[in-house]
Structure 1
């Protein structure tokens, strides 16, 4: 518990500085940790009413703070396992992840993104305050304004 509190405090102190950095500088710093390219895996988690779980991220700029649960996949980790791990780390929810991605996005300079459907199988929503400020279920036709246009298009064009 003490380690988690220290981590939360460190991220709260770093978050304002991180947000002030340009996207280019943020990517260069991320590449120090990931020397070749980054693979992002996101979870499209829906409730019984078809609403999408979105998280307001502490480290993302305010104009696009809302996004899907997800993150970078570790070396040797299956994409599906990365989605399950990230959802669990950010929300404490356990999910079953589909075998195939719904979307794969490429063409970014240093990143590939894969998005998977995920079904909640257990746990209780308990956010990681070091990364996540808020979580809410949104109807697809009423997404928050503060999200990237690319992600909005992804969500609104899902089957």
Structure 2
């Protein structure tokens, strides 16, 4: 049976193979988080309007656009949510996440811009020292801010 399937697979080369693979596999959204720091080592935290009450503080986060480099997603999301410009750094987290989501996080460094929050998505934006992180922060984001892997 396996030989027959292998022969059939070779016969349907190209676009038909891709269609079959696309139908047979899960489709994922990619959530990208930026662990944005300034030159003093403080981390940028946002109070997100759409997040659950009491757990609204977290890092800048958004979904990648099809074909977008994930570092570019961090740059775009931070700019859209805060008006700030950042330079993406090291990949610090990669995991298949909640349901059909892949979670990606990059370190990022503040390089410019003026704080102007997007009031539709963001209630508040502040810089915090690692010793002074707020209550009501997503635990996985707290761990990322502290430089720990949220997976333990």
TM-score (norm: length of structure 1): 0.72
Unmatched runs of 5 consecutive residues or more in structure 2:
1-25
Unmatched runs of 5 consecutive residues or more in structure 1:
1-34
- Normalized per residue, the structure richer in helix is 1
The 1:107–1:56 alpha-carbon spacing in structure 2 relative to 1, beyond 3 Å, is closer
The 1:97–1:145 alpha-carbon spacing in structure 2 relative to 1, beyond 3 Å, is same
Question: RMSD in angstroms over aligned alpha carbons?
Answer: 1.8
Which residue, 104, 107, 110 being the options, matches 1:114? 104
- Distance in 1 separating the partners of 2:77 and 2:125: 14
Instruction: Report the structure number with the largest CA radius of gyration.
Output: 2
Q: CA deviation at 1:76?
A: 0.6
Q: Is it true that 1:65 corresponds to 2:56 in the alignment?
A: yes
- Distance in 2 separating the partners of 1:38 and 1:94: 24
Q: CA deviation at 1:68?
A: 0.6
- Distance in 2 separating the partners of 1:107 and 1:94: 27
Give matches, 1:1-159, under 5 Å.
Answer: 36-98=27-89, 100-158=90-148
Secondary structure, aligned partner of 2:47: strand
- Normalized per residue, the structure richer in strand is 2
TM-score (norm: length of structure 2): 0.75
